[in-house]
Amino acid sequence: MIEGTLEEQAEFIEGLLGIDKERHADRSIETNLVHGYGERDASGGVSTPLQLSSTFAHPSFDGSTGYMYSRCGNPTRLALEDAIALLEGGKKAWAFASGMSAIATVLKFFKAGDHVLVCDDLYGGTYRLFSDIYTQYGLEFDYVDCTDLAVVEGACKPNTRALFLETPTNPTMKVADLAELKEFTRAHDLMYIVDNTLLTPRFQRPFEFGADIVIHSGTKYLCGHNDITAGFLVVRDSSLIQDLFTITMSEGALLDPFDSWLMLRSLKTLDVRLQRQQENAIAITEFLKQHENVRDVYYVGDPDHPSYELSLKQTSGFGAMISFRVDSHERLKKVIESVSVISYAESLGGVESLITYPLMQTHGAMAPELREKLGIDDCLLRLSVGIEGIDDLIADLQQALA
Ligand SMILES: *Cc1c(COP(=O)(O)O)cnc(C)c1O
């Protein structure tokens, strides 16, 4: 067994992997995406080794390799967790079996009677987890427009413990002012939690704006190939590490070694994928904006978007998520049934372009009043733009919208 606190144990394990965080922190994010997960092992293999073993033999009665059992630590998963911590500029990351299990883990910090402020345009699964499950354990949630500080301030209560938000949100693509909300969370001593799924650390690094915890659905851009379900939780400083070790080791909703290895492989191309997806998204936004059967187009990278300037200030890219409203529900059905390069499917962030009907799919679990307030109606479609040829994507939308 390893001696010392759990944090010391983590440092010991990192030592075994030979990760030099200080040195890697000087490199560009593009380089860290490709190389950021430690040194090669004795074989010199360029790809991180896949360690499938669920248990690890101890070299002597009280000796340890640093590993004992894969729920507590696995070398391949740890390499991935270190890569994510490095990319976000955090102290430590955990890789989960899904984004939802990462979000469920962060809720373990709160107890019955605690109140959490949440952005109103929220991933539907997160809304369901909060509203249908954790309210049963006495947690309270209020869903507020995080683009309006006065509204957020007004919803803060004596028992408020945290602010949980996504930015940009989807499908309505609202952008929260991360620096302004940092001041708010500091003034009220709240835990500041940001779901960074839509932009990834390549385009947005919430720790630089004071976030305490960054969450990801790794299923989306970080994976990028629509073939792994994964989640991440990253902390900025050491104070939460010990508790998180206890929670994750006890609950075990962690990512398995093979998916961890696939995710490491995916990270290497994140930058080139995102650049191409964004280029395509900009061209598709221009096409949709001039189409006679399209009513409203929401893309954060559109200079007409109300938060375009704010995005320029706090992000280094706009991502590749677009929502748009067509002129009738019949048109919406026709578009969904006519696309052929683009697939009608849930999820986002992959190299394959996907179209979604939020009202019925991603936001089906949301209270109808809230959906109505947000404008998630029966004419709204969401597009996750992939890396296909732009002419093919536009031709596909052209024929579907005709
Ligand atoms: C998909 C998604 C989640 C949930 O992640 P899973 O990997 O599907 O469990 C959470 N937040 C956002 C913003 C998402 O898009």
Tell me the helix, strand and coil percentages in the chain, rounded to 5.
40, 15, 45
Query: CATH classification of 99-218 is 3.40.640.10, yes or no?
Result: yes
pLDDT at 288: 98
How far separated are the first and last CA of the chain, in Å rounded? 67
265 given a catalytic annotation = no
Q: Is the CB of 123 under 6 A from ligand 1?
A: yes
How many angstroms separate the CA atoms of 118 and 143, rounded? 5
Q: Is the CB of 166 under 6 A from ligand 1?
A: yes
Residue 250 confidence class, pLDDT cut points 50, 70, 90: very high
Q: Is the CB of 260 under 6 A from ligand 1?
A: no
Q: Which two tokens stand for residue 260?
A: 């961890």
| Contact call for residues 168 and 198 (beta carbons, < 8 A) | yes
Q: For the segment 55-91, what is each residue's pLDDT rounded down to a tens digit?
A: 999 999 999 999 999 999 999 999 999 999 999 999 9
pLDDT at 74: 95
Q: How far is the CA of 252 from the centre of ligand 1 (A)?
A: 19
**Alpha-helical runs (H) found in 28-142:** 29-35, 75-88, 99-106, 124-128
Q: Identify the active-site residue in 37, 67, 123, 298.
A: 123
Could you tell me the CATH superfamily of domain 271-401?
Aspartate Aminotransferase, domain 1 (3.90.1150.10)
92 given a catalytic annotation = no
Neighbours of 149 (CB within 10 A): 15
In the predicted model, what is the mean pLDDT of residues 343-361?
A: 96
pLDDT at 24: 72
Q: How far is the CA of 231 from the centre of ligand 1 (A)?
A: 8
Domain boundaries along the sequence of the chain: 1-92+238-268, 99-218, 271-401
Q: Identify the active-site residue in 91, 92, 174, 220.
A: 220
Q: What is the pTM of this model?
A: 0.94
Q: Is the CB of 139 under 6 A from ligand 1?
A: no
Q: Is the CB of 248 under 6 A from ligand 1?
A: no
Contacts of 91 (CB under 8 A, 6+ apart): 85, 235, 236, 237, 238, 241
pLDDT at 365: 84
Q: Which two tokens stand for residue 83?
A: 């890569």
71 given a catalytic annotation = yes
Q: Which two tokens stand for residue 359?
A: 């009202």
Look at residue 1 and tell me whether its pLDDT is greater than 50: no
